[in-house]
Amino acid sequence: MIRFEHVGKRYDGGFEALRDLDFELARGEMAFLTGPSGAGKSTLLRLIALLERPSRGHIRVADIDLSRLRRRHIPYLRRRVGMIFQDHLLLHDRTVFDNVALPLIINGVVDHRDVSRRVRAALDKVGLLGREKYFPVTLSGGEQQRVGIARAVVTRPPILLADEPTGNLDPALSAEIMQLFVEFNRVGVTTLIASHDLALVGSLGFRRIGLEDGRVVIDHAGVAA
Amino acid sequence: MNGGRRKGGGAASRSGGAPLRRLQVALGAWFVAHGRALVGSLGRLARTPLSALMTVGVLAISLALPALFLLLLQNVERLGADWDRGASLSVFLELNLDEARLQPLADELGGRADVQSTELITPDQALAEFRNLAGMDDALDLLDDNPLPAVIVLQPESALDADALRAMGDELTALDEVDTVRLDLAWVERLQRISELLRRAVWLIAGLLGLTVVLVVGNTIRLAIQNRREEIVIAKLIGATDGFIRRPFLYEGLWYGALGGLTAAVLVAGVRLALAAPAAELARLYQTGPILVGPGLQGFLLLGLAGIALGLAGSWLAVGRHLAAIEPK
């Protein structure tokens, strides 16, 4: 589903964020990206969503060669990749409902009842049903992150990327959030999560790709997957 | 979870039906998307009514001024055309001419191809007219003889321009019976020059004020884009196309232009109403037709369309320049 072939990313100024990266994530697989900060985890995720282009090599996502993808086709790729960020990136002047509905609107879902039903389903999955009319600032950090997750999954994308989704949360909340990803993966969503929480990642038993200095240094197959 | 998935796939399988059905769905989605943007952008204007009103006010004045100037120009040209057609040649005949020769001469001149009609004013008639007009009864009584010559007033073909009229005047002056020919062209020409000058000035001013509208809308939209920068970044991350992001801003510019045009139309109508009474008085004094003719429905429509077009142009400029610069980082 996601395949990196000799991918390198060098920023202006000479910093090499990724060097000769080579790995593949199968359809329906779940994996964690680990490594110290600056190892290239975020850069790797950003390349998949084409927030940046690699300097070298090829990336294939859902059988699409990203280096051949034209700029005007990028939005359609991003619609198939649900993304979750450490700082949630919610719209603070919109309600929870409107935040979660945004991807549906962007996808051109017309029927209001359809939108409403799917938003509720997504919020139900992350345990926030009944909070539709709240504004994000009135929610806790963990709840805001759940809204972000609901927004990422409301269009049922085949791929889910999360960049440090539990970065600001306490261990109990972190475990709950991770459990949500496990559930999404269980219904076939290819999931890649960057996290520095080695203990939590280890306890879940999925494949772990360890990055260091822009290279893959560890690639443990999961035990539970 | 699975139940939701099946339901979620419903839309996809529906749109995967017959091509016609698919087209219908796509068209429906297109209309809904545009309708949402149209209504949504109006809603955003309504949320900041004061700043929206101020912008609309600036736009309305910028649109109303050239509209008023153009209206003025139109009226000047219309009146000028009326007077132009009224240009006539007064052929003053020699004083000692035999009375019996007058009518045949008038008929002869009337037979020319470039003359529409003639009117003979005998010295007696002229004197009588002069008495009436000038109120100089007593002064005229002092004279022994009638000092006035006979005059033939020629109404030339309306197609003749100033040069042709002048040539005709020269030709008539050369006749033995004719003393002088008075051609009342100078002021018609002056009027033409003035209206030409006016026309150019008005279009220049209209152009500048139109540019003002484009720049004001452009700047307003630029600010709107900056204010919603975060939202734009998030929408792009989620997979919004450039068109999706551009749309509400374009419609915002359209609304500004339309509201500006509408307000400008009200201003123009108001100004005309305020000037209607003195204009009617002036028209009565000069015995012309109506002096200040309004722009009519067509004019108001054009004003609205101009507002919309300029508003759209302004937002296009802003959107083209500033949206591309906002990319998720």
C-alpha A205: how far from chain center: 19
CA distance B78 to A65: 68
CA separation, residue B168 to residues A134, A151, A185, B103, B316 (Å): 88, 87, 99, 20, 57
Q: Say if residue A201 is in the same domain as residue A139.
A: no
| DSSP3 helix / strand / coil % (chain A, rounded to 5) | 35, 25, 35
- CA–CA separation, A59 vs A53, rounded Å? 9
| Residue B286 burial class via C-beta count within 10 angstroms: exposed 0-12, middle 13-18, buried 19 and up | exposed
Contact A99, A136 (CB under 8 A): yes
Q: What is the band of B12 on the pLDDT scale with cuts at 50, 70, 90?
A: very low
pLDDT for residue B289: 67
What sign for the dihedral angle of Cα B205, B211, B216, B219? negative
β-pair partners for B154: B89, B118
Which residue of chain B is at minimal alpha-carbon distance from A94? B231
Domain C-terminal end among A138, A156, A174: A156
Is pLDDT at B136 greater than 70 in this prediction? no
Q: Are residues A221 and A120 in the same domain?
A: no
Flag whether pLDDT at B212 surpasses 90: yes
Closest to B189 in 3D by CA, of B161, B150, B231, B168: B161
State whether A114 and A133 are in the same domain: yes
Residue A180 φ/ψ region, left for φ over 0, alpha for ψ in the -120 to 50 degree band, beta for the rest? alpha
3-state secondary structure of A60: strand
SS3 state of residue A41: helix
User: Is the pLDDT score of A173 beyond 60?
Assistant: yes
Could you give the 3-state DSSP secondary structure of residue B282?
Answer: helix
- Provide DSSP, A118-161: HHHHHHHHTT-TT-TTS-GGGS-HHHHHHHHHHHHHTT--SEEE
Residues 6+ apart with CB under 8 A from A52: A9, A43, A46
Query: Is residue A111, in this structure, part of any structural domain at all?
Result: yes
The reply to whether A86 falls in a domain is: no
| Residue B9 pLDDT exceeds 70 | no
Q: What is the percent of chain B where pLDDT is above 70?
A: 88
Judge whether A203 lies within some domain: yes
Q: Does one domain contain both A76 and A165?
A: yes
Say whether both A96 and A65 belong to one domain: no
> Between chain A and chain B, how many beta carbons pairs sit less than 8 Å apart?
71
Q: Which residue of chain A is at minimal alpha-carbon distance from B241?
A: A75
| Residue B250 banded pLDDT, cuts 50, 70, 90 | very high
B135 vs B138: CA distance, rounded Å: 8
Kindly provide the ipTM of the predicted complex, given to two decimals. Answer: 0.89
Which of A156, A185, A206 finishes a domain?
Answer: A156
- Closest partner residue to B238 (CB to CB) among A102, A121, A125 is A102
| Residue A173 within a domain | yes
Per-residue pLDDT, B13: 44
Class of the domain covering B88-183: alpha beta
Q: How far is B214 from chain A (nearest CA, A)?
A: 28
- β A64-65/A56-61 pair status: antiparallel
Q: Assess whether A125 and A179 both reside in one domain.
A: no
One domain, residues A75 and A175: yes
Mean pLDDT of the residues in chain B:
83
| Probe site for chain B from A45, A89, A153, A181 (most B CB atoms < 10 A) | A89
The answer to whether the CB atoms of B238 and A151 lie below 8 A apart is yes
Domain boundaries, chain B: 36-82+190-322, 88-183
Nearest to B241 among A75, A80, A89 (CB): A75
The mean pLDDT of chain A is 90
How many angstroms separate the Cα of A172 from the Cα of each of A184, A201, B201? 19, 13, 76
Asked whether residue A138 is assigned to any structural domain, the reply reads: yes
With beta carbons less than 8 A apart as the criterion, state whether A212 and A22 touch: no
* Tokens 């972190």 belong to residue: A174
Q: What is the mean pLDDT of residues A4-12?
A: 91
Q: Which residues touch B160 (CB under 8 Å, ≥6 apart)? A: B114, B168
Strands A190-194 and A159-163: parallel
Do A172 and A218 fall within a single domain? yes
Nearest to B12 by CA among A148, A70, A104, A190: A104
Distance CA B311, CA B56 (A): 11
Query: Do residues A46 and A2 both lie within one domain?
Result: yes
Do both A55 and A116 map to the same domain?
no
Specify if A9 maps to a domain.
Answer: yes
Tokens at residue B28, please? 């429906």
Quickly state the pLDDT bin for B84 (edges 50, 70, 90): low
* Residue B310 or residue B182, greater confidence: B310
**B194 Cβ neighbours under 8 A, 6+ residues apart:** B76
- Whole-angstrom Cα distance, residue A178 to residue A190? 14
- Quote the CA–CA distance of A208 and B77 in Å, as a whole number: 84
pLDDT at B3: 38
Q: What is the pLDDT of residues A33-57, one digit of tens each?
A: 998 888 889 999 999 999 999 999 9
Beta bridge partners of B38: none
What's the gap in Å between the CA of A114 and the closest CA on chain B? 8
Do A169 and A73 belong together in one domain? yes
Distance CA B184, CA B162 (A): 10
Q: Domain ends where: A105, A136, A156? A: A156
- Would you call B203 an interface residue with chain A, using a CB distance cutoff of 8 Å? no
Distances (CA, A) of B67 to A195, B72, B210: 64, 9, 11
Residues of B in contact with A77 (CB under 8 A): 239
A21 part of a folded domain: yes
Question: How confident is the model at residue B177, as a pLDDT?
Answer: 83
Q: Mutate one of B21, B238, B246, B323 to test the A interface: name it (highest A CB count within 10 A).
A: B238
Domain for residue A85, yes or no? no
Mean pLDDT of A113-133: 93
- What distance lies between CA B154 and its chain's CA centroid? 35
Residue B6's pLDDT band (cuts 50, 70, 90): very low
What φ, ψ does residue A13 adopt, rounded to 5°? Answer: 105, -10
pLDDT in tens, B13-52: 444 457 888 888 888 878 888 888 888 888 888 888 999 9
Q: Which residues pair with A163 in a beta bridge?
A: A194
Give B264's strand partners: none
For the ranges A124-128, A180-184, B128-132, which has the lowest average pLDDT? B128-132
> Higher-confidence residue: A156 or B288?
A156
User: Read out DSSP for B43-63?
Assistant: HHHHHSHHHHHHHHHHHHHHH
**The pLDDT of residue B267 is above 90:** yes
The percent of residues above 90 in pLDDT, for chain A, comes to 62
Judge if A75 and A165 occupy the same domain: yes
Averaged pLDDT, A182-198: 92
Task: Give me the CATH number covering residue A22.
Answer: 3.40.50.300
Q: What pLDDT is attached to residue A224?
A: 52
Check pLDDT > 80 for residue B87: no
Parent domain of A119: 91-156
The CA distance from A116 to the nearest CA of chain B, in Å, is 12
